[in-house]
Amino acid sequence: MTSTVFSHHALLSDGWASSVRITISHGSISGIEKGAVSSEGDVVVDFLTPAPGNLHSHAFQRAFSGLTERRGNPVDTFWTWREIMYRCALTIQPDELEVVAAQLYMEMLEAGFTRVGEFHYLHHDTDGRPYGNLAEMAERLIGASVQAGISMTMLPCFYAHGNFGGADPVAGQARFVNSLDSYASLIELTKNAISTVDGGEVGYAPHSLRAVSSEELAAVVGMGSGPIHMHVSEQMKEVSDCISWSGQRPIEWLMANADVDDRWCLIHATHQTEEELAMVLKSGAVVGLCPLTEGNLGDGVFAGQTHIGKGGAFGIGSDSNIRISLAQELSQLEYSQRLQLQNRNVLAGGEGSTGENLFCRAVAGSGQALNGSPALAIGNEASMISFNGKAAPWVNRGTLLDSWIFGMDQGPDRVWARGKVVVAEGRHTDRDRISASFQKVMKTIVARF
């Protein structure tokens, strides 16, 4: 099946171009004509850009977004938040997960993400026993992605321990835990399940240095090709626990004990020395930044000026899914740097637009980390966003992304995921049905809190 889109301005892989006609065949871009004229049957838009992937999500956490913002301890921290997160994780049922995830993925599409990296660790039944189908929960998430129409890179998580040095998992982690054998089976089942879904990819996700031993990490990384995602150096307690265990900081240990390369996506990587930053840059790994979650959880500020300023790869993840906003993730990333450095346009990458630099770099980083191909180029997936210029006629292509990211609520007008229109006039095409199910299920989930 072939369709065509004519855009007055399009952000191609080599920059903005005028009067661009894009041909889409079977979900991919099969033709790009610059300086074209529109033809009958074209969808005509004002501005067209690629759509980045969201490289880090825990879908079930969308169910308690906004419900942990009251102080429950003398000092609330990431670790007290984690207790509440475990309460939700311990009770959510497979059909509830699918409904919550469908709502979440719909919101991601409306925000401009067309692929999700689902870092999935909620594997087993509430008592920790595997479901009859080991991949039951993974299949529910894949089902949700199909309902919403988002492309998925499924990252089944390997989780075996409660802390550094192979400590036993705690009761709240019972649903997460696999042996290496059961994890290998889970990967195979997940690959089978996703093989029938357009654009589906599978990667490997050793949860963190807290949750895997060094032998297990090597085994998981050696299981096959595909992206490797891992939480690392998110919290200072994690850094000090790692030093107590090994004498090294988390990234320092990882770089010394694993062949970290461009297959890897280091989620957060918040707390780093200059030496660690240099090693990450040299490795070619993508840093998975989750600015809204990192702010919400009080993680710390990533050294964006150093890593991004030196050309390091990065992408954006919504992680805890506290709020789904690609624009706000990018502005928060820049603002965290401004607040710390008392400076402006820190991540502009030269004299150009800060928003455009952040956006284009996030597109490239998410493609690398999720095995996607989001840039507008022939052969790539036709995953694109359009913006309606009539909403703000003073905005031109040079100011479009800055206006969206820093200035206005006006978001994507239309979103294509693998060639299919999933958002029109800013609204998901199946929003009514998906959100009605979500509202019903949330009543049950919240009643259990």
Q: Tell me which residues are annotated as active site.
A: 268, 319
For the bound state, the minimum distance from the C-beta of residue 419 to Zn ion, rounded and expressed in Å, comes to: 30
Question: Which is closer to Zn ion, CB of 139 or CB of 319?
Answer: 319
Residue-wise DSSP of 201-215: EE-BEE--TTTS-HH
Pairwise CA distance, residues 77 & 79, whole Å: 5
Q: Are 341 and 309 in contact (CB under 8 A)?
A: no
For the bound state, the minimum distance from the C-beta of residue 296 to Zn ion, rounded and expressed in Å, comes to: 12
Question: Which is closer to Zn ion, CB of 285 or CB of 401?
Answer: 285
- Strand extents, DSSP E, 198-341: 201-202, 205-206, 228-232, 264-268, 286-289, 314-316
Question: Which is closer to Zn ion, CB of 21 or CB of 115?
Answer: 115
CB atoms within 10 A of CB 179: 11
Question: Which is closer to Zn ion, CB of 20 or CB of 116?
Answer: 116
The site for Zn ion, by CB under 5 A, has a size of 1
Residues 173-202 within binding reach of Zn ion (CB under 5 A): none
Of 46-54, 201-209, 317-325, 331-339, the window that binds Zn ion (rule: CB under 5 A) is 317-325
Question: Which is closer to Zn ion, CB of 320 or CB of 386?
Answer: 320
Residues 230-269 within binding reach of Zn ion (CB under 5 A): none
Q: Does 356 bind Zn ion (CB under 5 A)?
A: no
Written as six digits, the tokens of 290 are 């989750």
Residues 378-417 within binding reach of Zn ion (CB under 5 A): none
What is the SS3 assignment for 79? helix
Of 25-33, 208-216, 315-323, 429-437, the window that binds Zn ion (rule: CB under 5 A) is 315-323
Question: Which is closer to Zn ion, CB of 319 or CB of 381?
Answer: 319
Binding mask 268-307 for Zn ion (x = CB under 5 A): ----------------------------------------
Residue 251 sits at the vertex; the CA angle it makes with 250 and 256, to the nearest 5 degrees, is 100
Phi then psi for residue 55, to 5 deg, are -90, 5
For the bound state, the minimum distance from the C-beta of residue 119 to Zn ion, rounded and expressed in Å, comes to: 6
Q: Are strands 314-316 and 28-33 parallel, antiparallel or unpaired?
A: unpaired
Of 90-98, 136-144, 312-320, 413-421, the window that binds Zn ion (rule: CB under 5 A) is 312-320
Of 97-105, 123-131, 313-321, 433-441, the window that binds Zn ion (rule: CB under 5 A) is 313-321
Pairwise CA distance, residues 352 & 359, whole Å: 12
DSSP secondary structure letter of residue 258: S
For the bound state, the minimum distance from the C-beta of residue 58 to Zn ion, rounded and expressed in Å, comes to: 6
For the bound state, the minimum distance from the C-beta of residue 108 to Zn ion, rounded and expressed in Å, comes to: 15
Q: Does 98 bind Zn ion (CB under 5 A)?
A: no
Residue 84 has, within 13 A of its CA and on its CB side, a CA count of 22
For the bound state, the minimum distance from the C-beta of residue 384 to Zn ion, rounded and expressed in Å, comes to: 27
Pairwise CA distance, residues 311 & 315, whole Å: 12
Of 104-112, 319-327, 348-356, 377-385, the window that binds Zn ion (rule: CB under 5 A) is 319-327
Rg (CA), the chain: 21
Of all residues in the shown chain, the one whose CB is closest to Zn ion is: 319
Phi then psi for residue 329, to 5 deg, are -60, -45
From residue 355, how far is each of 100, 360, 430 by CA, in Å? 31, 9, 30
Q: Does 319 bind Zn ion (CB under 5 A)?
A: yes
Q: Are strands 414-417 and 420-424 parallel, antiparallel or unpaired?
A: antiparallel
Pairwise CA distance, residues 406 & 174, whole Å: 42
Applying CB under 5 A, the residues found at the interface with Zn ion are 319
